[in-house]
């Protein structure tokens, strides 16, 4: 039995804040603590209360930094780590010129394994502890993805893409081989450790009707598996889909007619939706996923978050690396704020940080496991330093509230603002800005030192 106590300023959400004044939606503790045992959060409370309850437990003191649940990315492409920041195309040309040639390399298990290690390094460096990933068409890529996730004890979701047409040699399966490989991967990885398998028809353009039928069979046979694909990202994409599926009422109807819309379905982008498609999302409970850095990079369009939410639809938010331009959920929120501003929509920082933690967990149906610091949930935690750069420290001198601090992190933060990341209770980020592990005796000395420190002098807003 391994038990530890993390000390710092603590923020966790109970529901989405209605606005900046909705303090009952979250718990914030200036001198808080999280008690962890064997990778699970046991208690959240003030440091004094938890220290009294567990006097001999080793303490890691992260003050004055802010601790919250680890970030969750609901749409990212594992095989695109080396095409991020590839210049100058819109969606279909970008796929053909950069992405598809790159993904053919993932037939090689050694390459897949090396890239999986690098991919997970980037996630951890940027504070992301769970993600939903597209692998390549090759079974080897999914095996490498899940193997690496297992070795790190991370809660990850992913799947090999199904794509049997409109792609180069070396990047196509067949309806039968895609079905067989997916069945084998589900048998091996679904529910193994913290892994979950996602049935993944890449998008309608790269799957024939025969393959969509196989995807439908997989979805029917495995209702516990999530489904992910792409929807209405680009006008040319929508037009090409209409040519390939002339019988469909609209783009979403391709997926709907094959039984691929349900509450655990994730639809990347979902920008240019028709009224019937929005109604179908309401009816089925499927979730659009907002990918702001990607949408801006490819010039795809502006996601209507407020319009969809007004219909009762719950949206995810994600990086979409490699068309997305950063692994950072902080930078994703930065660009998301701007996309919404262009449409007269708002994103309060409290709502933003709820979105990348508990909000995305709710989209995945995993809020009982990740996304909060509630007792009984898995101890995936990010420690944030809002003074991690000179520019941020200068701005923080004039911050007057928790919300202002969060907004500074959202707009100016990146991997440098990630002081530490805990996965299943284990610290994983190699470079620490403030990390002191102590035994019982040295805790007393450390506390004595901090008792004489005016935290408000370091963080004047508190």
Examine residue 182 and state whether it is found in any structural domain, yes or no. Answer: yes
Domain shared by 243 and 100, yes or no: yes
Note the pLDDT of residue 436. Answer: 35
Domain shared by 106 and 253, yes or no: yes
Note the pLDDT of residue 432. Answer: 35
Between the CA of residue 341 and those of 20, 283, 294, 435, 459, what are the distances in Å?
17, 28, 17, 37, 29
The vertex-389 CA angle with 383 and 390, nearest 5°, equals 140
Residue 244: exposure state from Cβ atoms within 10 A (0-12, 13-18, ≥19): middle
Mean pLDDT of 433-450: 36
Residue with tokens 């040639």: 101
The residue among 297, 327, 357 that closes a domain is: 327
Q: How many domains does the chain have?
A: 2
Read off the pLDDT band of 89 (50, 70, 90): confident
Q: Is 221 helix (H, G, I), strand (E, B) or coil?
A: helix
The sign one gets for the Cα dihedral 13, 15, 16, 17 is negative
Task: Tell me the C-alpha distance between 115 and 54, whole Å.
Answer: 41
- pLDDT value at 444 more than 70: no
Domain shared by 145 and 281, yes or no: yes
Note the pLDDT of residue 368. Answer: 98
CB 138 within 8 A of CB 160: yes
Query: What tens digit of pLDDT does each residue of 213-254 get?
Result: 999 999 999 999 999 999 999 999 999 999 999 999 999 999
Domain shared by 246 and 388, yes or no: no
Note the pLDDT of residue 446. Answer: 33
Task: Tell me the C-alpha distance between 195 and 147, whole Å.
Answer: 9
Q: How many CB atoms lie within 10 A of CB 452?
A: 7
Examine residue 349 and state whether it is found in any structural domain, yes or no. Answer: no
- pLDDT value at 107 more than 60: yes
H/E run at residue 94: helix 91-94
Domain shared by 203 and 77, yes or no: yes
- pLDDT value at 202 more than 50: yes
Query: What tens digit of pLDDT does each residue of 343-384 get?
Result: 999 999 999 999 999 999 999 999 999 999 999 999 999 999
Between the CA of residue 305 and those of 147, 179, 251, 267, 394, what are the distances in Å?
35, 34, 19, 14, 32
Domain shared by 260 and 307, yes or no: yes
Residue 428's CATH number: 2.30.40.10
DSSP per position, 378-434: B--EEEE-TTSSHHHHHHHTT--SHHHHHHHHHHH-SGGGEEEEEETTEE--SS-SS
Task: Tell me the C-alpha distance between 422 and 68, whole Å.
Answer: 10
Task: Tell me the C-alpha distance between 445 and 456, whole Å.
Answer: 21
Task: Tell me the C-alpha distance between 399 and 391, whole Å.
Answer: 13
CB 324 within 8 A of CB 122: no
- pLDDT value at 139 more than 90: yes
Examine residue 429 and state whether it is found in any structural domain, yes or no. Answer: yes
Task: Tell me the C-alpha distance between 409 and 342, whole Å.
Answer: 21
- pLDDT value at 454 more than 80: no
Residue 207's CATH number: 3.20.20.140
- pLDDT value at 91 more than 90: no
Where helices occur in 62-104 by DSSP H, the ranges are 91-94, 100-103
Read off the pLDDT band of 210 (50, 70, 90): very high
Examine residue 137 and state whether it is found in any structural domain, yes or no. Answer: yes
Examine residue 335 and state whether it is found in any structural domain, yes or no. Answer: no
Peptide bond into 6 cis (omega under 30): no
Note the pLDDT of residue 90. Answer: 86
Domain shared by 171 and 52, yes or no: no
CB 132 within 8 A of CB 266: yes
The residue among 307, 327, 347 that closes a domain is: 327
Domain shared by 160 and 269, yes or no: yes
Domain shared by 20 and 75, yes or no: no
Residue 77, strand partner residues: 134
Strand-strand pairing, 3-13 and 26-37: antiparallel
Note the pLDDT of residue 65. Answer: 98
Note the pLDDT of residue 430. Answer: 61
Domain shared by 106 and 40, yes or no: no
Mean pLDDT of 276-301: 97
Examine residue 363 and state whether it is found in any structural domain, yes or no. Answer: no
Domain that holds residue 22: 3-70+371-457
CB 269 within 8 A of CB 231: yes
Residue with tokens 């951890």: 124
CB 102 within 8 A of CB 79: yes
Between the CA of residue 270 and those of 114, 134, 168, 320, what are the distances in Å?
32, 17, 26, 13
From the list 281, 283, 269, the residue with the least C-alpha distance to 235 is 269
CB 248 within 8 A of CB 257: yes
| Residue 25 DSSP label | G
Residue 299: exposure state from Cβ atoms within 10 A (0-12, 13-18, ≥19): exposed
Note the pLDDT of residue 189. Answer: 98
The residue among 275, 303, 327 that closes a domain is: 327
Domain shared by 227 and 269, yes or no: yes
Give the chain's mean pLDDT.
93
Domain shared by 191 and 225, yes or no: yes
Please enumerate in sequence order all residues whose Cβ is within 8 A of that of 432, keeping only pairs 6 or more positions apart, or say none. Answer: 419, 420
Residue with tokens 């002191």: 436
């Amino acid at each position: 039995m391994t038990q530890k106590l993390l000390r710092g300023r603590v923020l966790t959400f109970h529901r989405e804040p209605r606005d900046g004044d909705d303090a009952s939606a979250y718990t914030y503790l200036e001198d808080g603590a999280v008690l962890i045992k064997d990778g699970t959060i046991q208690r959240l409370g003030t440091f004094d209360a938890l220290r009294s309850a567990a006097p001999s437990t080793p303490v890691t003191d992260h003050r004055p930094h802010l601790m919250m649940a680890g970030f969750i990315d609901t749409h990212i492409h594992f095989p695109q780590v080396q095409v991020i920041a590839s210049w100058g195309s819109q969606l279909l040309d970008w796929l053909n010129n950069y992405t598809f040639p790159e993904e053919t390399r993932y037939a090689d298990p050694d390459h897949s394994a090396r890239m999986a290690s690098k991919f997970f390094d980037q996630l951890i460096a940027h504070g992301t502890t769970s993600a939903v990933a597209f692998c390549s068409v090759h079974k080897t890529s999914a095996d490498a993805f899940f193997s690496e996730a297992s070795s790190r004890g991370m809660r990850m979701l992913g799947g090999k893409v199904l794509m049997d047409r409109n792609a180069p040699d070396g990047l196509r399966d067949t309806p039968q081989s895609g079905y067989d490989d997916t069945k084998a991967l589900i048998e091996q990885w679904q529910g193994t450790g913290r892994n979950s398998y996602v049935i993944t028809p890449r998008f309608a353009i790269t799957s024939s009707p025969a393959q969509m039928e196989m995807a439908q069979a997989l979805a029917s046979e495995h209702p516990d598996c999530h489904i992910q694909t792409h929807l209405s990202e680009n006008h040319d994409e929508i037009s090409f889909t209409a040519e390939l599926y002339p019988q469909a009422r609209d783009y979403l109807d391709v997926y709907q007619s094959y039984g691929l819309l349900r509450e655990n379905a994730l639809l990347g982008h979902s920008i240019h939706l028709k009224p019937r498609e929005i109604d179908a999302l309401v009816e089925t409970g499927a979730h659009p996923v907002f990918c702001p850095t990607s949408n801006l990079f490819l010039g795809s369009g502006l996601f209507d978050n407020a319009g969809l939410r007004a219909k009762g639809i719950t949206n995810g938010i994600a990086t979409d690396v490699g068309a997305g331009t950063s692994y950072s959920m902080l930078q994703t929120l930065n660009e998301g704020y701007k996309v919404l501003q262009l449409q007269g929509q708002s994103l309060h920082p409290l709502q933003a940080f709820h979105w990348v933690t508990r909000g995305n967990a709710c989209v995945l149906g995993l809020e009982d496991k990740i996304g909060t610091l509630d007792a009984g949930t898995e101890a995936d935690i990010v420690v944030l330093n809002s003074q991690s750069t000179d520019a941020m420290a200068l701005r923080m001198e004039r911050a007057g509230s928790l919300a202002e601090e969060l907004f500074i992190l959202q707009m100016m933060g990146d991997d440098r603002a990630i002081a530490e990341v805990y996965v299943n209770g284990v610290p994983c980020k190699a470079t620490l800005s403030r990390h002191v592990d102590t035994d019982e005796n040295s805790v007393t000395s450390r506390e004595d030192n901090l008792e004489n420190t005016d935290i408000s002098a370091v963080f004047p807003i508190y």
